[in-house]
Amino acid sequence: QVQLVESGGGLVQAGGSLRLSCAASGSTATINVIGWYRQAPGKQRELVAAISSDGSTNYADSVKGRFAISRDNAKKTVYLQMISLKPEDTAVYYCNADSFSQSRYWGQGTQVTVSS
């Protein structure tokens, strides 16, 4: 069992920055991949960025060059650094963990609102 708690969301103006945090607890040694997803009103949830146990990362085309995913294994925390935010980045951002046995765990989400 893995528990995930997101934090760091808020209201920012276009061009601003935010850093989201995903704190993991429980059976964290079973985690293979952690991803950040987002869901805007009226739209499906989409993958934003992911980081695997070997350190490899992947990003959605819409955020490449602006978002960076990283991890601190000692703190059991994954971060999403977001710069040059745009109104279209407005969404609820969710942290997801995939275990080596393909179990999936989700956090509660944190709201990011970018005003123009």
User: What are 86-115's pLDDT values in tens digits?
Assistant: 999 999 999 999 999 999 999 999 999 999
Alpha-carbon gap, residue 81 to 107, rounded angstroms = 18
Beta strand extents in 27-109 (DSSP E only): 31-39, 46-52, 57-59, 67-72, 77-82, 91-99, 104-106
Integer Cα distance of 86 and 80 in angstroms:
15
Contact of 18 with 9, CB cutoff 8 Å: yes
The pLDDT score that the predictor gives to residue 111 is: 98
CB atoms within 10 A of CB 36: 26
Confidence of residue 64 (pLDDT cuts 50, 70, 90): very high
